[in-house]
Structure 1
Amino acid sequence: MQSTQQADNTPNTQLEYAHDLADFISASPSSYHAARQIACRLDKAGFSQQMEDEEWSATPGGHYLVRGGAVMAWRVPEGAGPHNAFAIVGSHTDSPSFKVKPSPNSVHSGFAQINVETYGGLLYNSWLNRELGLAGRIVTVDGEEHLVTTGAIMVIPQLAPHLDRAANKELKLNPQTHLHPLWALGEKDLFEFLAERAEVPADEIAGMDLFAYDTQPPQIISDEFFASGRQDNLVSVHASLTAFIAAEPTEVAVFSAFDHEEIGSSTTTGACGPILETTLKRTALALGATQEQYFQMLARSSCVSADAGHSINPNYPEYHDPDQHPVMGNGPMLKINANQRYATDAHGQALWLRAAFAAGLSTQEFVSNNAVSCGTTIGPLTATRLGIETVDVGVPLLSMHSARELSSIRDDWELAEILKGYWSVA
């Protein structure tokens, strides 16, 4: 389904968008940094920050709250009230990585190493031999939060083929012993190193949420491909934020960037938690809705869950349905699963097609090969918690959950355009 009113999908427009996406990802080495970048862009667009322990605002215009690595934002049109609906786009700010353990210092065979544990379903081998940094937050004993980014400080060295003759045939990695980053010769204290960068005394560090990230910046390849870490799911965060700022909705538009999707979403900032539900209810109450009218607003509402999906890989075509598979560069995809690993149903399909038609762009569909397990995302969680129409979508990626992922700059730009179309028709 395609409109005759084409969007401005020229190569220069797509490249300009890709460069902005690169800037956003580079500035977002952790979910906490991503939340800060979202807040900065919303501030620049004239949105007002809402503190959760203060009276809620639903005045006409834009509002947002930041909680850890999550951001909820809402845009209220003039004349809005209990007769309106919520038009929601959800995404997530976290990506698979390594998280620093509470006691990070380790010395083995003359090397200072950093103790880490795996976070999410990362592709182990892709993190080998890469220049890695640490990013996240440090909290001092007084409760103050400090964002930290180190730059390249560590590497996970792979065993040479001279010592492992089977490495090119069968690579097995033990996450405890083989994925242990080294960062110095001799002994070195990570707490002191981090305290210096956070400009706090080392003995005042009470806790930290620090994650490894690949320090290689994003690259645009052949004016076609976008190569970067953390595209799952910062591509969707960036697209939904870009569309949200540019949209002119007639309903109450809601931007939801959750944290912790990669580890199940069952946190105070995840999609299983109450953060979105609380945002909707407090907004409805601030608009004068009764409890009954709030439920009526939900009944009129819808949600687009925007996350990454799998493009067919030409080197491994057997892992996709032979008759129906997405191809990178053919547009964002609608994700469908009979077992509701994705929340899309027929009404959701129609909603997504209306959004694509409004943007003048085409879309494609993804279903799994029946012999290959299917992933899931925040869509079913949101649909279950709120009981609203939800559709799962996303751009096709190659090398998902790798330290470096690959997308099409055209798909990335088109996702933002179709999400803008959603906010015009929802």
Structure 2
Amino acid sequence: MNFEQLGLIKPILDALKVQGYEQPTPIQEKAIPSILQKRDLLGSAQTGTGKTAAFAIPILQNLSEKEQNRNQIKALILTPTRELAIQIEENFKAYSKNLKLKSLVIFGGVKQHAQEQQLKKGVDILIATPGRLLDFISQGIIKLHHLEIFVLDEADRMLDMGFVHDVKRILKIIPAKRQNLFFSATMPKEIANLASEILVNPIKVEVAPVSSTADTIQQSIYFVEKDNKTDLLIHLLQDQKLDQVLVFSRTKHGADKIARKLQASKISAEAIHGNKSQNARQNALNNFKSKKTRVLVATDIAARGIDIDELKYVVNYELSDVSETYVHRIGRTGRAGSEGTSFSFVDGLDLANLRSTEKLIGKKIPVVKNHPYHTDDLVEQKRESNNKPFTPRPKPQQKSEIGFKKPKNKGFFRKK
């Protein structure tokens, strides 16, 4: 199937050709016709499936057919992070370049004046984070009387970041009669309940199990002592073909530390996390996209909005305590059918997380041993052991950006 067969208008088709889009991804193929018919939709799709285009394209087409109430907010896309909001707005602008519709992104962490001035000029499509949206509504800057389409994107991340109550406040403000589009990579009970409250007789679109990883991603595990992880990363980066690498750190402090050590080794690197200013985060992201910066070290929340079609390499410096996070992380590469590679560094305390991750994705991840920092082969027996399960990671004591800080560890593997 091609985009012409989805019934899209010529201005949008021309814009998609400029972007290099040839065939719709599975979620686009399934979602676009239903959204064009103005049906409510519940979408469950793993990261990198072309989800943003799946809702942006039909929204633009439906709104382009209306001549009334130009430059009044008719579509609201609510998303959890600034980076993701900016990425979504970039996509809307790319797809609507041949249309008269105006889109705008608003988010917190910056002064409101510039955003306020743009709103006064008139906006058809608003992409917003919950806090800034509620702030503008309370000030009377934003009114949503003409809203026709409401999109809740990354609903599971909204839950993780504590935004569910803000979402419910917004739902009480917007018109009851509207089209609702609800997207979530995972579907925990609270998110499923929220979807049932919002959606009316929805079309359900699920293009892949939420626990799956794309077949185009080559995954590998490196067993390594905690203290040797940075040295292993520098060793891998000696291969110049790794020209654009996204590294995931558990904490903000860890991200900064990794970036500093890479810089000390003459490797261009920057960190991106919640403690950075909005300008610093956006500059770091732009430098990474343009390959001015070779390595971007990110926490999970900060990385959610990183959408780079040709990103080939992802490194899990530590595995997350939440197995589903692994799917989201490596989903930053291998997007929309392209090939990608993920490297995961595993120390002793990561073994329990490795087991739960492999159970979730339904496969054993191959181990790479031919590197200078490989631990002794007994770890293979420990990994496979079912009779003596490993003690789980100690209960965390201190909260961090994505949950809890990893307790200090002097190393699990003992060298003989």
TM-score by length of 2: 0.24
Report the structure, 1 or 2, having the larger strand content.
Answer: 1
Higher-helix-fraction structure: 2
TM-score (norm 1): 0.24
